Amino acid sequence: MREALAGRSDLARVWVLAVGKAAGAMTRGAMDALGPQLERALVVSRPGHFDPDVESDPRVRCIAGGHPLPGEGSLAAGAAALDMARAAEPGQPLLLLVSGGASSLIEAPPAGVSLDELRHVTDWALAAGLPIERLNALRRRLSLVKDGRLLARLSRCRVEGFFISDVPGDDPGVVGSGLLASAPQPFDATGLPAWLGALLELSAPPPAGVPGVPVRCVGRLEEAIEAAVRLARDSGVRVERLPGRLEGDAIAAAAALGSHLARMPPGLLVAGGETTVRLPAQPGRGGRNQHLALAVARSIAGRDDLLLLCAGTDGSDGNSDDAGALVDGGTTERGSDVGLDPADCLARADSGRFLEASGDLVHTGPTGTNVGDLLLAYRCDAVHSQGPGPSM
């Protein structure tokens, strides 16, 4: 954000509305670039994700929303954003900063839809393993701020959008469920349960004539992958980039990765994306990265030449405070030594408990960004595999 706004002498008395896991860091970048030109800011993020300098600035109001399920804070954030739109004078410069997580962090449901029902929709979609595009399509329908509706309320302002993308294709209409643009495609209700179809009937159609605003992507998964590849090559490591994105069921992705790692030459494999996990009725602790890591750990059990890191770039994974896991050929043995069964933990979506026992969880805390998940797999050569594994 600092680079994107550098030298913008045309901006004065600027307002900022920032929503998402990276909202604090994005606002900090805007503050650094704009200085006294920034007049007012509303920042919505997860608890613990606010930049201290942003929180302490008297020009800024910070609201902690709910994630991954919307909460009372999400409703407060939605109301504050609509209040901001009503307070703006014609021509007010406003920067709309959006990053992943925004869909649950800010909300204003239509009449007849309760917070409990919104939470039930998200809970059902996550348990069913719906891809993020499908989940966000549901969120767009059940909101007065998404799918271009907030933009319509801000039509009197001179809005510029900036976003950090955690979705395939870096589509601004998908990030934040349409805080920056209306839906790119008509909604498809195929295969939805009857109760959800009835709830969707309460939604209002998207507003006509949603103003198009200039939008710039300032961070994406591709840049994180390229940075990892560049660092490895600069260190003299052979690097392979896995084609496409990691997506689909985490267990299926793990099977394909295990097969690939079995024949991979020494060096580093880099991949990125987001898999999905179908949750049981009472899921345990963990997230898609831990689930994927533990599933791959089963396929490389006994190998002394492989390391695999699966982690969320935002520093969180599922319902845990961990970013993911760094596993090796001894992971399953270490966890089994304390009486845990990896297959049982995977079946119960309790990978975090197993990986804590095996000593393989990765905890970073909030990172200030959110571009999806990264996977790094390292295979050392025969000389290294006879001694201690390489550090990562």
Q: Is the pLDDT of residue 385 over 60?
A: no
Q: Per this entry, what is the length of the chain?
A: 392
Are 233 and 239 in contact, with CB atoms under 8 Å apart? yes
Residue that wins the pLDDT comparison between 389 and 19? 19
Q: Is the pLDDT of residue 263 over 60?
A: yes
Output Rg (C-alpha) for the chain, integer angstroms.
22
Confidence of residue 203 (pLDDT cuts 50, 70, 90): confident
Q: Which of 158, 146, 215 is nearest to 183 (CA)?
A: 146
Are 225 and 243 in contact, with CB atoms under 8 Å apart? no
Distance between CA 160 and CA 149 in Å, rounded?
16
Residue 138, SS3?
Answer: helix
Alpha carbon separation from 310 to 33, 108, 231, 323 (Å, rounded): 34, 34, 18, 8
Are 110 and 202 in contact, with CB atoms under 8 Å apart? yes
CB half-sphere exposure, 254, CA atoms < 13 A: 23
Q: What is the pLDDT of residues 101-120, one digit of tens each?
A: 999 999 999 999 999 999 99
Distance between CA 244 and CA 260 in Å, rounded?
14
Confidence of residue 188 (pLDDT cuts 50, 70, 90): confident
Residue 254, SS3?
Answer: helix
Q: What are the structural domains, with CATH classification, of the chain?
A: 2-219 (3.40.50.10180), 221-385 (3.40.1480.10)
